[in-house]
Amino acid sequence: MTEPRVPFNRAYTTGFEIDYMSEAIRETRLSGNGPFSERCSRWLEQRTGARRAFMTHSATGALEMATLLAGISPGDEVIMPSFTFTSTANAVVLRGGTPVFVDIRPDTLNLDEQLVEDALTAHTRAIMPVHYAGVPCAMDTILGVARDYDLVVIEDAAQALGSTYRGRAAGGLGDLGAISFHETKNVMCGEGGALLLNDGRLVERAEIAHEKGTDRRRFFRGEVDKYTWIDVGSSFVLSELNAAFLWAQLEHADEIQQLRRRAWELYHEALAPLEESERLRRPVVPSDCEHNAHLYHVLLAGDVDRAAFLTTLALHDVDAVFHYIPLHTSPAGVRFGRAAGSLPVTDTVARRLVRLPLWAGLDEHHVDRVVDALSTALGLTGRPQRAPLL
C-alpha cells in the first residue's frame, strides 16, 4: 500500500473549535469584539506583556493599522528586510511611505541590525524588523538605534508568537507588533491576526482606528451617548466566529508548541549528518533566543539545482517549498521602494532556501521519510542512523 504524501502543512485542531463557535452563534455575537475576542486579547496581553492587544482580520491588517498609528505618511521611509512577505512593505506603501530594503544576516536570515544605521536618512520614520521562522531579531541593537534617532519600531512578529528574545516576548519589544493566526501558523483560525500595542499613548487612537475611525467602543462603555466618525480607520476587526475558533487554539497553545518543537528537534538531529556532508545547512538559533518552531528550513549548497531538488522530493511524496522572492527585485518593490545598497545575502538565500514539512503531529516516521528523500535528492546514500531523542 502506497503511503500518503507528507504535506507541507496540516492544520491542527484541538476538538473544541466547533463547540466555541456554536456558543458564539447561540449568543448571536458574531461581528467581532465580543466575549471570545476579549479572551483572546487578554491572553495575548498576559503572554506578551503588551499594553493592549487588538484582534484583527489578519496580520496584514495589523501591520496596516500599525503604520496608521505610527503616523507613516507620504515621504516617510521605513527600514525593513527585503526577505519578507509583501504585507510588510504594503503596509508602508498604503500610507504613502517608502520601504527601504536592508540585507539580512547569513545565520538567522533576519534583518542585519549592523546595517540599519547606515540605511537611515532624514526621512526615516520607522524600523520594521521581521522575526523570520519565529527566531527573534537582535532587538536590543535595533531598539537602540530607534532611541538614538527617535524612530518607531514595528515588529512583524507574524511568525513568532511564543518566541522570546532575552526572556522577552517577540511582538512585545517594539512600540507595536503584529501577530498572524493564518492557517499556516502555530496557532490559527484560518485567517486572523492581532496588533500588540506597547506604547500606552497609542491606545485611545487605536480603539478609534480599529472601529473604522469611530468612537464606537466609548459608546458601548457608556462614555458617550452616540458614536461618530472621529479619525482615519478601517475595518480591522476579527469576526467573533474566528475568535471563538482561535480561543480553542490559544487554550492549547503550549501543547501545540511542544508538538511542533518535537518535530523541529527531530529534523535538527536527523539532518546533522547531511550538514556535515556540506550539501545543506541547518537553521541557526542564537543562544539568547527561544524560538517557537514555526518552520524548519535548510539552505542548499550553491551547486544544488533547487528546482530539480524539489521535483525529486515531490516524486518521493514529500511537499517542500521555497520561500520569498526578494521584495527589492520584485516589480512593486522597484516601483515603490528602494534597496539600501546591495543585498547579497538576501539574493543568495532566496535562491537556496527550502522549507520542509512541519506541523503539530509530524512524527519520527514522517521525518525519516523527508530526510531519506533529501538524501536521495542530494545524491547521498548510506545516511547514518539517528539515535532516538529522549
Collect all residues with Cβ–Cβ distance below 8 Å to 207 and sequence separation of at least 6: 215, 217, 218
Express each pLDDT in 43-92 by its tens digit: 999 999 999 999 999 999 999 999 999 999 999 999 999 999 999 999 99
Structural domains of the chain, with CATH: 17-251 (3.40.640.10), 253-377 (3.90.1150.10)
* Cα Rg of the chain (Å, integer): 22
Task: Tell me the three state secondary structure of residue 299.
Answer: strand
The pTM for the full model equals: 0.95
User: Distances from the Cα of 304 to the Cαs of 104, 284, 309, 344, in angstroms?
Assistant: 22, 20, 7, 18
Task: Decide if 156 contacts 126 (C-beta within 8 A).
Answer: no
Element (H, E) at 155: strand 152-156
User: Distances from the Cα of 278 to the Cαs of 23, 146, 194, in angstroms?
Assistant: 54, 38, 40
CA 357/CA 321 separation, integer angstroms: 9
CA 175/CA 65 separation, integer angstroms: 13
- As given in the structure block, the three cell numbers for residue 159 are 511568525
pLDDT score at 381: 63
pLDDT score at 31: 87
pLDDT score at 28: 85
pLDDT score at 278: 94
pLDDT score at 2: 60
pLDDT score at 184: 96
Collect all residues with Cβ–Cβ distance below 8 Å to 30 and sequence separation of at least 6: 24, 239, 240, 241
Residues of the chain with pLDDT under 70: 1-2, 381-390
DSSP 246-292: HHHHHHTHHHHHHHHHHHHHHHHHHTHHHHHTTSEE-----TTEE--
Which residue do the cell numbers 480561543 mark?
247
Task: Decide if 163 contacts 291 (C-beta within 8 A).
Answer: yes
Task: Decide if 4 contacts 365 (C-beta within 8 A).
Answer: no
Element (H, E) at 349: helix 344-352
User: Distances from the Cα of 322 to the Cαs of 118, 254, 301, 351, in angstroms?
Assistant: 30, 28, 14, 8
Sign of CA dihedral 223, 228, 234, 240: positive
Which of 381, 353, 375, 390 is CA-nearest to residue 104? 353
pLDDT score at 390: 30
